[in-house]
Amino acid sequence: MRQLIALWRKETLALWRDHHGLAALFLMPVIFILVMTMALHDAFMPGASIDVDYGIVDLDGSVHAQRLAAQLDGNSSFRRQSAGDDLAAGREAIRDGRLALVLVVPAGFGERLLLPSGSDGKPTAALTVMLDPALNPALRLAFQSQIAAALGRLRADELTQRAAAQFGLSFAPGLQARDWPEEIVSIAVQNTRDVRPPSSVQQNVPAWLVFAMFFVVIPVASIFIVERQGGTLQRLSSMGLSPAYLLAGKLLPFFVVNQLQALVMVLVGMKVVPLLGGEALIMPAGRGLFWWWVVAAAVSLGAVAWALLVASLARTIQQATIVGGIGNILMGALGGVMVPRFMMPATMQQLAEWSPMAWGLESFHQIMLRQGGLSEILPGLAKLLTFALLALALAVWFNHRKTQ
């Protein structure tokens, strides 16, 4: 036991004096959580306004064109600004970056609202959307869909009114000006009690926590390489210290560091993010909290084992920093830390299955967003523990090979 205490004390002192390592473990993820939570605040909120301006150039001037504009104003997630009175003004507004989209309502739009193109032998000019080429294609499609929906409602209104007039039916006053109710409502399925969708903070805290936990690779590798290069490992071996003790001497301190990281990141999510205007992190309670900790422990084992493997492979601290750092960034990019997995195309989502960070993040989400239990997190836990055991076995093998 005296040996283990000496090893733990040594690792703690070494880490405490490694200011760069501490910054990578604690400061970096806190900054990432705060910045990314605020930056992606609206991206996770259904119905949040989209920060894109559009304008309408009305070349028709009919009451129907005005009603189309009113429909878009009432239901569009985009923000309407003045676009001028003609095409040239609309183009200019896009070119100077004031507007991203301009809807051009052609002359004769109102007259030919219910006439399919060419059905009376005359062509019907189409609604035109002028757009900024740098605009996200998804936003372009969303805008077109909203125009199509508004146009459909306008035509339905017009048909209803004409039919009522034709059949002599009375029509409730003010109907033309009414708002149509939202016909499609998004509801995030979380659990039976709570139907709130995941917020930005609930994506970002576990994501950057997993990322930060894997950054123990830097201090673990630094100390390990100092030990190997300086002959300290050789000396410890000659003192009869078994490799198992050596390993335990490293696993526990960095496991504790990982748990401290978890505590700090959760507190930042719960207490600091709301101070900056974001939504507070909601942690599971009771048994959910226990499973959350089990996932944190499994991620930690994977992270420390990965760190030991990198330390065993690298010859110098610089090599370990590069291999560990780039490896972590790749695992993070693939695993949904930087870009949430659901935003990735299908191929990338399949690739993400290979990232240990994705296993940890998915398990956290199972508990935090879907109130999952052991059966839901078991696949992720199994993968993380297998990864940890494999990495440890490889680390031991590489070290054995180097000392012989």
Partner 1 sequence: MLTVDALSHTYPGSSAPALNELSLSIPDGEVYGLLGPNGAGKTTLISAIAGVLSPERGEIRLDGQPLAEVRRRDRRAIALVPQDHAFYPMLTVRENLRFFAGILDLDGAGQAARIDECLAFACLVQVADQRAEHLSGGLRRRLNLAIGLLGRPRLLLLDEPTVGVDPQSRHFLLESIAALPAAGTSVVYTSHYMEEVQAICRQLAILDQGRVLLAGSLDSLLRNQETVLEVAGGALPPLLCERHGLQPGEDNSYRLSQAGTASLAALLADLAAAGIALEGLQHGQRNLEQVFISLTRRSLRD
Residue 53, classed as helix, strand or coil, is strand
Q: Closer CB to partner 1, residue 10 or residue 80? A: 10
Residue 50 burial class via C-beta count within 10 angstroms: exposed 0-12, middle 13-18, buried 19 and up:
middle
Interface with partner 1 includes 19 (CB under 8 A)?
A: no
Which residues on neighbouring strands pair with residue 130, listed in sequence order? 102
Per-residue x/- track, 38-77, partner 1 (CB under 8 A): ----------------------------------------
Locate 90 and state its tokens: 């609309």
Interface with partner 1 includes 83 (CB under 8 A)?
A: no
Stretch that binds partner 1, among 10-18, 48-56, 186-194, 276-284 (CB under 8 A): 10-18
Smallest separation, CB 320 to partner 1 (Å) = 16
Q: Closer CB to partner 1, residue 60 or residue 227? A: 227
Smallest separation, CB 31 to partner 1 (Å) = 26
Interface with partner 1 includes 252 (CB under 8 A)?
A: no
Interface with partner 1 includes 401 (CB under 8 A)?
A: yes
Tell which positions 175-204 bind partner 1, by CB under 8 A.
Answer: none
- For every residue of 114-146, DSSP letters joined together read TS-TTTTSS--PPPEEEE-TTS-HHHHHHHHHH
Which residues on neighbouring strands pair with residue 55, listed in sequence order? 102
Locate 402 and state its tokens: 């180097």
Q: Closer CB to partner 1, residue 3 or residue 75? A: 3
CA distance readout (Å), 247 to 11, 12, 96, 199, 305: 12, 15, 62, 39, 9
Residue 56 has phi, psi (to 5 degrees) of: -125, 130
Interface with partner 1 includes 6 (CB under 8 A)?
A: yes
Smallest separation, CB 254 to partner 1 (Å) = 16
Name which of 204, 301, 203, 205 is nearest 250 in CA terms.
301
Tell which positions 202-241 bind partner 1, by CB under 8 A.
Answer: 223, 226-227, 229-232, 234-241
Interface with partner 1 includes 271 (CB under 8 A)?
A: no
Locate 290 and state its tokens: 């226990």
Q: Closer CB to partner 1, residue 191 or residue 403? A: 403
Interface with partner 1 includes 397 (CB under 8 A)?
A: no
**Beta strand 53-58 with 79-80: parallel, antiparallel or unpaired?**
parallel
Locate 58 and state its tokens: 């009305």
Smallest separation, CB 400 to partner 1 (Å) = 11
- Name, in order, each residue with C-beta under 8 angstroms of 100's C-beta and a sequence gap of 6 or more: 52, 53, 54, 94, 131, 132, 135, 139
Residues of this chain that interact with partner 1 (CB under 8 A) are 2-3, 5-7, 9-10, 13-14, 17-18, 223, 226-227, 229-232, 234-241, 401, 403-404
